[in-house]
């Protein structure tokens, strides 16, 4: 027996006996692993590109495909990326203004993940990144790559990519989206003087404090109902999420449960004390880019009949990931648990379905993005917004008026 086959055939012996039963018995692993090795050897014997046939390279790329098939948030971390992350632990490979996550592997940088609805939504994960603004990426270190991909809102970057499924490289020009630095990006009373509007851009550690201060001010000015806008909000801190839910729900209300195969359920509840009682009607706005903490907030308020959700089905990120070091200098970013709202449902891979669904066209998305940065619009962009009414906001106002 080949040494590699012997090694792979031993893998089932390390399975955790306490974990729930898998869909097939351990015996099924042997023919499956043997099939993998047979394919591996056929590739090594017959493929003409000999420089691509090292065992490490082939197996690592196979593992990349395996992790990518599980869910959008699990991924294989190649040795090159693992080394770069160790050398630069403070660097985040995600570019929020483009909606893409960068990875490194033996062949160079590649697109590890993209967010739907973002500037990079049309990119295919796994695509090799060959050039940035006409400059080759070969040999560049992670900080340099991230620096060249970063830009101000409205700036463009041209990428040359080699897709895993296309024969020829393609060039795409992406436009950076605006990223709000403050958690509370906007808070104001609408024209009726009684409806408060608060747009939360992210769930930072400071978000509950910022949000409470904004609510206090609007309440003191006569707010009787609230529209909480979570559109485009990618999420953030779980403790901050629970504290924000505590602004609108009774103390010690169970709002989030974490469930995993190798852990007991962990139930999180709102804080023991509530400074102000806020029992006015609430509408929460979500779209396909509302993710993670946004979905938990919307889902919990929906489950507990505390708010109505307006917009479109959210992104579907309700899971916990761990970085697990592996052999050969590699690592796994693996989903190990899911988050659940009070009713027991999880937004993982399904999202939160709104009570009031609004069909959102690309024109609406573009205008909404412009409306979020009114202070920095060009004259042409200002003209494009003239006479435009946000249909999601309008639907929420109609619902609250009932």
- The CATH fold assigned to 184-400 is 2-enoyl-CoA Hydratase; Chain A, domain 1 (3.90.226)
pLDDT tens, position by position, 345-400 = 999 999 999 999 999 998 998 889 888 877 777 888 888 888 899 999 999 999 99
Percent pLDDT > 90 in the chain is 69
50-64, 113-127, 212-226, 378-392: the lowest-pLDDT one: 113-127
More confident residue, 306 or 166: 306
Q: What is the pLDDT of residue 301?
A: 98
Percent pLDDT > 70 in the chain is 94
* Residues belonging to the active site: 292, 303, 317
Q: Is residue 289 pLDDT above 60, yes or no?
A: yes
Residue-range domain boundaries for the chain: 25-69, 84-179, 184-400
Confidence of residue 9 (pLDDT cuts 50, 70, 90): very low
Q: Is residue 78 pLDDT above 80, yes or no?
A: yes
Confidence of residue 17 (pLDDT cuts 50, 70, 90): very low
Q: Is residue 16 pLDDT above 60, yes or no?
A: no
3-state helix, strand, coil in the chain (%, to 5): 35, 25, 45
Q: What is the pLDDT of residue 116?
A: 67
Q: Is residue 117 pLDDT above 80, yes or no?
A: no
Confidence of residue 3 (pLDDT cuts 50, 70, 90): very low
Strands 308-311 and 254-260 come out as: unpaired
Q: What is the pLDDT of residue 20?
A: 64
pTM of the model: 0.81
DSSP code per residue over 55-74: HHHHHHHHHHHHHHTT-TT-
Q: Is residue 73 pLDDT above 90, yes or no?
A: no
Confidence of residue 19 (pLDDT cuts 50, 70, 90): low
Q: How far, in Å, CA of 56 to CA of 68, rounded?
A: 18
Confidence of residue 326 (pLDDT cuts 50, 70, 90): very high
Q: What is the pLDDT of residue 1?
A: 44
Q: Is residue 32 pLDDT above 80, yes or no?
A: yes
DSSP code per residue over 79-138: HHHHHHHHH-TT---EETTTTEEEEEETTEEEEEEE-TTSTTTTSPTT-EEEEETTEE-T
Contacts of 80 by beta carbon, 8 Å cutoff, 6+ apart: 104, 105, 106
Contacts of 222 by beta carbon, 8 Å cutoff, 6+ apart: 189, 193, 194
More confident residue, 18 or 259: 259
More confident residue, 26 or 79: 79
For residue 256, the cross-strand partners are 268
Q: Is residue 11 pLDDT above 70, yes or no?
A: no
The architecture of the domain spanning 84-179 is: Roll (2.30)
More confident residue, 121 or 8: 121
pLDDT tens, position by position, 221-242 = 999 999 999 998 988 899 999 9
């Amino acid at each position: 027996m080949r040494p590699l086959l012997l090694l792979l055939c031993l893998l089932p012996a390390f399975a955790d006996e306490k974990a729930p039963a898998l869909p097939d018995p351990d015996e099924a692993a042997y023919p499956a692993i043997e099939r993998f090795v047979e394919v591996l050897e056929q590739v090594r014997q017959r493929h003409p590109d000999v420089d691509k046939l090292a065992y490490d390279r082939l197996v690592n790329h196979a593992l990349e495909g395996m992790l990518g098939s599980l869910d959008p948030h699990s991924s294989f971390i190649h040795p090159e990326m693992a080394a770069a992350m160790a050398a630069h632990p403070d660097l985040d490979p995600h570019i929020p203004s483009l909606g893409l996550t960068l990875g490194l592997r033996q062949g160079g940088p590649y697109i590890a993940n993209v967010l739907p609805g973002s500037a990079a939504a049309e990119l295919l994960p796994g695509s090799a990144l060959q050039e940035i603004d006409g400059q080759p990426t070969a040999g560049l270190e992670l900080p340099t790559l991230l620096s060249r991909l970063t830009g101000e809102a409205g700036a463009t970057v041209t990428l040359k990519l080699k897709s895993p499924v296309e024969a020829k490289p393609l060039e795409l020009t992406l436009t950076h989206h605006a990223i709000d630095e403050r958690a509370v990006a906007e808070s104001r009373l609408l024209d009726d003087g009684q409806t408060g509007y608060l747009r939360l851009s992210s769930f930072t550690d400071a978000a509950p404090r910022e949000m409470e201060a904004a609510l206090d001010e609007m309440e003191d000015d006569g707010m009787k109902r609230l529209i909480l806008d979570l559109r485009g909000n990618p999420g953030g801190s779980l403790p901050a999420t629970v504290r924000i839910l505590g602004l609108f729900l009774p103390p010690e209300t169970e709002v989030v449960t974490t469930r995993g195969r190798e852990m007991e359920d962990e139930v999180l509840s709102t804080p023991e004390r509530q400074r102000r009682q806020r029992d006015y009607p609430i509408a929460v706005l979500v779209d396909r880019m509302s993710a993670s903490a946004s979905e938990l907030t919307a889902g919990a308020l929906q489950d507990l009949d505390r708010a109505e959700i307006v917009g479109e089905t959210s992104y579907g990120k309700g899971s916990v990931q761990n970085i697990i070091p592996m052999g050969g200098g590699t690592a796994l970013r693996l989903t190990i648990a899911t988050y659940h709202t009070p009713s027991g449902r999880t937004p993982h891979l399904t999202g939160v379905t709104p009570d009031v669904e609004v069909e959102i066209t690309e024109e609406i998305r573009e205008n909404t993005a412009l409306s979020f940065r009114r202070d920095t619009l060009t004259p042409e962009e200002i003209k494009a917004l003239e006479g435009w009414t946000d249909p999601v906001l309008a639907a929420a106002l109609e619902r609250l008026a009932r």
